[in-house]
Structure 1
Amino acid sequence: MLTVWGRANSLNVQAVMWTIAELGLTHQRHDIGHVHGGNKTSEYLAMNPNGLVPTVRDGDGVPMWESAAIVRYLAAAYGDDKFWPRDPAARVQLDMWAEWIKTSFVPTFSGQVFRPLVQQGSTPLPPEQLKAATEAVKPLALMLDRRLGDGPYLAGSDLSFADMIIGNPLYRYYTLDFDRAATPSLDAYYAQLTARPHYREHVMVSYESLRTRP
């Protein structure tokens, strides 16, 4: 059985939990981090010296951390050839976009739009700063829109490990009120994801408790 340490409203935990659910794996999750605390104890740091979430242990195996690495482990260990292509040449065509979402899209969207809007407290974000931030996200959304094409998933008709990483931040992207680029393919992709019960359960989780209150 898989054991997961991490809170349900963590973006990184959500990617792992969605993967676990899509693969139908038996698991137990413990709320750790943010208001729950527990991620700075000596016991937790012995498993994950970074002190962040998630941390995952597969049975009696060595603890794993870093969500994308965990997703890849689960996909390789338990996924079929559609979910985790065994051909490296086929897999890399998906994996490079999974890397891109983590290194380009998420840092820009989360750092410049999500965190300032959600964690701004009583101080409004200056309009010029919000405009610059939203303009920085638009070309990245357009890149993903072009890559998705007719979809419905990144690999075409088959859901894969890369969708776990790419689709995960889109709930926040689409539910936050800001000026988004016109991206019909990305919109259709998100609609496809929201039709999946496991996406609704593990990714479409309220982030209201993350807001900084006045």
Structure 2
Amino acid sequence: MLKVLGRQTSINVRKVLWTAAELGLAYELDQSWGTTRELSEPEFLALNPSAQMPVLIDGDVVLFESNAVCRYLADRYGDGAIWPADPGARARVDQWMEWQSATLNPVWGDAFLGLVRRPEAYVGRQDAIAASAARWNRLMLVLEDELAARPYAAGDSFTLADIVLGLSVHRWRSTPISHPPTPNLTAYLARLRRRPAFDAVSPADMA
């Protein structure tokens, strides 16, 4: 059985859990790492020297970096539905997964941490929170415009791109900042919420 190390409140852990659920894969989730056990412990660092969750263990295969783990699961256990075999279609999925990790993720830290996760650490840092929220909104409007032309991030069908972006949209909507009107993102999130795997691993009240 697959084993996933990391707490479910981590958005990156939820990417992996959602992917596994979409593929119908059984897994064991060890949430002690990041809760009662430190990611800096030698046992964990031997699996991921970056001291970040999640880590996937699949027999002799040990992987970290959530988007890479999602691709591995889809490639090994999927039928091409959520990560297409066609190079062009696969590249379109990958470009949005890369956009999520390299472009979108770096901007929301101050806003999300300061307003949701660790507000006590952000006392007096309202300018950083506001700047982060403004950058976050600008990038979400990029996705809003893209979704005017298609129901899912990479085309007409649900893919891995929608797993990583769907969680990101939910986090954005759940963070108490001023959100611009985004009817396409609203409809997109509602489509994704109709998938049982989304609610199973990422309840609406979990940002």
TM normalised by structure 1 equals 0.87
Maintained 8 Å contact 1:19/1:74: yes
C-alpha change, 1:56 and 1:130, in structure 2 (3 Å) is closer
Provide the residue aligned with 2:110 in structure 1. 112
The residue identity in structure 2 corresponding to 1:50 is S
Check the 8 A contact 1:7/1:32 in 2, yes or no. yes
2:146 equivalent in structure 1: 147
Deviation for aligned residue 1:80:
2.1
1:158 and 2:157 are equivalent in the alignment: yes
Amino acid at match of 2:99: W
- Whole-angstrom CA distance in 1 between matches of 2:90 and 2:115: 36
**6-15 or 131-140, larger mean C-alpha shift:** 131-140
Which residue number in structure 1 is paired with residue 9 of structure 2?
Answer: 9
Instruction: Name the CA distance, whole Å, in 2 between partners of 1:127 and 1:45.
Output: 34
Q: Deviations over 1:94-136 (max 9, x none)?
A: 2111111111112112x13101112122865665544433222
Q: Which residue identity is paired with 1:117? A: L
Report the CA distance between 1:139 and its aligned residue.
1.7
Q: Residue 57 and residue 123 in structure 1: after superposition, are their counterparts in 2 closer, same or farther (change >3 A)?
A: closer
Please tell me the root mean square deviation across aligned C-alpha atoms, in Å: 2.1
Partner of 1:185: 184
Where relative contact order (Cα < 8 A, 6+ residues apart) is larger, the structure is: 1
Identity of counterpart residues, as a percentage? 34
1:32: which partner in 2? 32
Distance in 1, matches of 2:165 and 2:106, equals 13
Asked if the contact 1:151/1:185 (under 8 Å) is kept, the reply is no
State the alpha-carbon separation in 1 of the partners of residues 35 and 204 from structure 2. 16
* TM-score, normalising length: structure 2: 0.89
Q: Give 2:88's aligned residue.
A: 89
Deviates more, 1:151-160 or 1:199-208: 199-208
Give the aligned residue type for 2:14.
Q
Which ranges of structure 2 fall in alignment gaps of 5 or more residues? none
